[in-house]
Every structure is written in C-alpha cells, then in structure tokens.
Chain A
Amino acid sequence: MATDVTSLKQLVLGRKDVQDMSDTEHELPPDLMTVNMGPSHPAMHGTVRIVLTVDGEKVVKSDVQPGYLHRCFEKESEYATYTQIFPYTDRLNYVSPMINNVGWAMAVEKLMGLTKEIPRRAEYVRTIVSEISRVTDHLTCVGASAMELGAFGPFLFFLKCREWLYELLETVSGARLTHSYVRVGGVSKDLPDGFADRLIHTLDQTEKVMVEVEGLLNNNKIFRDRMAGIGAMTKEDAIATGCVGPIARACGVDYDVRKDYPYSIYNEVEFDVPVGTTGDCLDRYLVRVEEIKQSIRILRQCMKQIPDGPVVVADPRVTLPPKTDTYNTIESMIRHFKHIVDGIRVPAGEAYTFVEGGNGELGFYIVADGTGRPYKAYVRSPSFVHLSTAGGLIHNHLIADIVPIFGMINMIGGECDK
C-alpha cells in the first residue's frame, strides 16, 4: 500500500522525493482521500457506486461497482417460455425497449431458422418502432446529461418530445414504456389507423425541438467547456475495451451493426453513420444528435416504403391460432394451450444474434435444448461494457467531470446490471 501511495503522489504531484513536503505542504493536502459516490447520487442514476480516491479535486483511483439493479434476467429467463421473456427484455434498456424486443425475437427466430420468413411488413414495423426507440434513447441521454450540467431547459424540451414519441408507441402497443410489442415471427398487432400521419407530424415537431435544443447547447460556452476534451478515448482503446455504438463512433470507430451486418430491412433504407474524431464527451453528444436526425430520416423512408400484408409469419410453431378458431375448434384450442403453457419449441442449438441498440451492439446468446424455455439466455449489454471503461475515463479528471462522462456513457441500469 505504501508504494501505491508513493507512486500515486509522484504521478499526481510530480514529486521526485515523496518525503519532501517542504515546498507544497501548505498549498496541497498531503493525504489522498477516499470518497464514496453513489449509489444514491443523482448523477449515478441510482444504481452505480464509485469509490474514488481523490487528491484534492482530482481522481487518482476509482473502483466502479455496478450491480445494485441486478434482477437475475438470465436466471429468470431459464424458467420462462420464450414469449414470456419479452417483458423481461423490456426492462433491460427501459428507454428503448422496442430494440430489446426486436433483438430477442430475432435471436429466437435465428435458432428456429425463421429469419428469412418474417413478412416484410413486420420487418418494416419492427424497424419503425426500433428507430422511434433509438430517438427516445438519445433524447433521454442528451437531455439528462444537459440537465446534470445545469441546463434544465433542454431537458424539458427533450422530455416533451420524448413523451410525444412514447404516446405514439403507446398507440401501437398499448403501453407507454414497457411495450412487449414484438413477437417471435413478427409483431403482436398491426400499426393503428392514422399512425402514418401522426408519426410524420411528430417527426416534424421533433425536428423543431432539435433546432431549439441545438441552438441552446451547441455553442453554449458552459456546455462546451464541460464537455469538450473531457473523458476522451482513442480509437484503439475504444475497440480494445469493447465499446460500440455512439461511444465508439465518437472515437472514430466506423462500426454500426445496421451497416456492417445488415439485418431486417436496413439495407433498403438510406442513412449515414456519423463518426466523431476526438472521442470526448462533446463528440459523443454530437454523434447522438446526428443519429437522432438519421433515425428520423430512416423513419420517413420507412413510412413511404412500408408494404401491406401480414405482420406475423404464418407458421403454426410460433403463432397463436386466430381467436375465433381457438374458441370454436378443439384443435386450435389445444394448439393455443400448448403454445401458452409449453411455449415455442426451439430446436436444440446455440446462436448469438445482435442488433444495434440505443447504446450499440445489443446481443442475445441463447442455448436452446428443444423445450419451450431457453437453457441459457445471455444478454451482451452494451452499457455493462461501456461502464467498465468509466474507471479509466474519469482517471485524472476532476470530480465534477465525472458527471458529464457518466452521462455520456449513458449507463442504463437495467441493461448494465441485468
């Protein structure tokens, strides 16, 4: 321990001889201090604890401890049918639940060999709800981070806008936040009447809000001073530490699952992947703002291109029989019962499926044993991987800088702690 402190003092204070306190003793406190930050701290989102060793205001050592929101997603999933897991996935990343739903559905479909069978309208509906979710995810991240830096106005603007989008998803799924809308083989129901007009109207409004907020933030001196140059990461570090999504793209890593391993109908729509240069908090903010605009662009194209047709695959293995048949024929009744009680029978095998979530590559690794319940269900949660870089990012920064760094990592407790 003694050597530890010695090396830390040499690092921070630049002292050759640690015993020599004569020059700086009056100006700098000679001892390092251990401070506990979180989990009950507003900027820690209530779920993460950081044990900081500080020298004055500067962080010299940190121990980031997640786990306060651990809800046993994987253990619970092993005891639930594949359909029953959709509500659990809602609660992984609870600001963009639709993408989690889609990721889980695609993972099960891959094991069943249904990936190519999904009706095109269902793929479009999934893309639409995913992109709306991506917008809400980024709006929350940017808005909350701005609020934590003292800019309360943009937060209110963004939450207002997010609420419009939540209301849209509510008309689609019936639930404001935990939608459980996607099903294996498609989606649970078609888009409601008049959805296209409402979506276009909301997107127009969203673009207006974006103009307002960008005007408030982009050239705001306080915001820039707090964000620029803070928590910077190199491209190589971003790759080696497993960063994906907006954080990696802000560092210059040109990786987007939607482009690199296209799934669903993403190769039929046109969009750009914004990439940053400096990898600091300001670039992460700018990448997220640009991604909101690109998502709006995807949504507009989807609404033009969406075909008519069924929204769920006509495969008796995964879809429930029509309700009229369930009530009138014994075969359908039995099928319905088996489907609900036994679950979807997924052939034995293992597969890893990943989609571009709000925070980056969101993957599900399933080991199936031929029953209606997964033998193992692992979620590759981007937040967990990103949080593991937090300790390195806040090193040698001030305590106050932890707030924007943590905000721009966009750690979502539900996803990080599983």
Chain B
Amino acid sequence: MAQKVLDALKAAHGAAVDRTASAHTDEIAWIKRDQLLAVATWLKNDAAMLFDAPVFCTAIDWIDYRPLDRPPSEFWSEDKPRFTVAYQLRSSKHRHRIRIEIELPEADPKLPSLAGLWPAFNWQERETFDMYGIRFDGHPDLRRIYLYEEFVGYPLRKDYPKEKRQPLVRRDDLPMNPIKVAPMEHK
C-alpha cells in the first residue's frame, strides 16, 4: 500500500526526490531542501496523499556514525551533509505513512519551516532547534523550548559532551562563583 505513496511522489516531484527507501515497514523519501515546501504542500493537499496528521519532527547528527561491519567511507566523508531532519506524516483517511528526510550541511543547517502547514510542528521544530541548532526559516516563534535562554550550544549534537554541565542554580559539586555573604552588623 505504502510503496504507492513513494511511486506517486516520484512521479509528481521526481526532481525533488533524492532517493527513497522502504525498510522496517517505514517509507522514507529524501527531499531536496529547496523544494521541501512544494513537496510538503503537495503531500498535504493532494487527494491521493492527504497527509493531514503530523507525527513527529526530529534531526539526526551523522558526524559520529560509524556502523560496525561496514567500512567507514561508506557512511562518512568530508562533503557528506552532517544533519538530517526527519518529518513523519500520517494520513488519517488513507492510513498510509511517510517519513520525509532533508539533508543539511553543517555550515548552513537551515530549512523552510513546515509549522505553517501542520501546526503540530511548531513546538517540534522548536525542540529540534533547541537540541540540534537547526534553523527553520519562516517559523513563527523559534525559541528554545526545553532549555533556558542562557544555555550555550546544542546538547543533542554529537560533539556536545554528555558530562558537560551548565547549571543555573548553585551546585556544590561544580565550580561556581562563590556566594558572598555580608557579615551581620551587631549593635
């Protein structure tokens, strides 16, 4: 059933689709960034597609991806895009699902926002921005959502150390500026 979706997508927007795959009952299509909005609009509105229900949006940082039992060169080279942003969609009428993935280079990690098409992606794109530093052009309110404004860096990037701490409150086990207490005045 769902392979039809990928075939229809390739027929309608062949130039925008890099490649497609079906694995583990998921249908995945890699879309070019500059045509994402056109493809997404078509996926939402076409009568045979009708992907009206957004499921999730997240990103993957491939910088450290070295699968065992395969040569690293297969997965990583200097010119390979570092990030992938994945949108999972579902059609409540046809009940098919698709995941569209957009590859983004490290130097310019931004893509058009889909929050205008599916309001659910408003917060999920904010989460992706918060965790990976991906910029969504045209997002109505791109702020950090889980972390605080003062936070430096993007914690789910692979080069953010797991042990790094940026506390806002006093922690005795971490180096912080000592709290100065003025002596009481006795009269």
Contact = CB atoms under 8 A, between A and B. Distances in A.
B167 interface: no
Interface in B4-32: 23-26, 28
A363 B64 CA distance: 24
A39 to B, nearest CB: 13
A384 B123 contact: yes
Given A242-B118, A352-B88, A79 B69 contact: no
A387 B145 CA distance: 12
A371 B65 CA distance: 11
Interface in A356-390: 361, 363, 365, 367, 369-371, 375-376, 378, 380, 384-385, 387-388
Contacts, number: 105
A239 B44 CA distance: 12
A253 interface: yes
Contacts of A75: 155-156, 162
Interface in A156-194: none
A231 B126 CA distance: 24
B94 to A, nearest CB: 11
B120 A349 contact: no
B156 A370 contact: no
Contact of A417 (B25, B88, B146, B155): B146
A163 B152 CA distance: 43
A260 B93 CA distance: 11
B142 interface: no
Which of A111, A261, A376, A384 has the most C-beta atoms of chain B within 10 angstroms of its own C-beta? A376
Contacts of B118: 240, 242
Interface in B134-179: 145-148, 155-156, 162
A388 B25 CA distance: 29
B21 to A, nearest CB: 9
Interface stretch (B34-42, B55-63, B102-110): B55-63
Interface stretch (A65-73, A264-272, A279-287, A401-409): A65-73
Contact of B54 (A240, A351, A375, A378): A240
B122 A369 contact: no
B55 A361 contact: yes
Given A70-B146, A363-B55, A365-B86, A239 B68 contact: no
Contacts of A376: 60-61
Contacts of B148: 67
A239 B52 contact: yes
A367 B64 CA distance: 12
A148 interface: no
A181 to B, nearest CB: 25
Interface string B77-119: 0000000001010001001000100000000000000000011
A132 to B, nearest CB: 27
Given A110-B25, A352-B26, A418-B146, A240 B52 contact: yes
Contacts of A111: 24
A371 B122 contact: no
A70 B131 CA distance: 12
B168 to A, nearest CB: 11
A348 interface: yes
B145 A363 contact: no
Nearest to B148: A67
A67 B24 contact: no
B70 interface: yes
A241 B68 contact: no
A240 B119 contact: yes
Contacts of A253: 92
B25 to A, nearest CB: 7
A378 B162 contact: no
A94 interface: no
Contacts of B26: 350-352
A375 B146 contact: no
B24 A240 contact: no
A352 B99 contact: yes
A361 B95 CA distance: 14
B129 to A, nearest CB: 13
B3 interface: no
B56 A380 contact: yes
B23 A351 contact: yes
B141 to A, nearest CB: 9
A290 interface: no
Given A75-B155, A371-B68, A385 B123 contact: yes
A67 B92 CA distance: 30
Nearest to B117: A240
Contacts of B56: 352, 363, 365, 378, 380
Nearest to A243: B120
A255 interface: yes
A260 B67 contact: no
A369 B67 contact: yes
Nearest to A369: B67
Contacts of B131: 74
Give the top 7 A-B pairs by smallest Cβ distance, nearest first: A242-B120, A351-B24, A67-B146, A370-B68, A388-B123, A348-B67, A380-B56
Interface of B: 23-26, 28, 52-56, 58, 60-61, 64-70, 86, 88, 92, 95, 99, 118-120, 122-124, 127, 131, 145-148, 155-156, 162
Given A75-B162, A385-B124, 6 more contacts: A74-B156, A242-B119, A348-B67, A351-B23, A352-B55, A367-B60
12 contacts: A78-B162, A239-B52, A239-B53, A239-B92, A348-B67, A348-B68, A348-B70, A350-B60, A351-B25, A352-B56, A352-B88, A388-B119
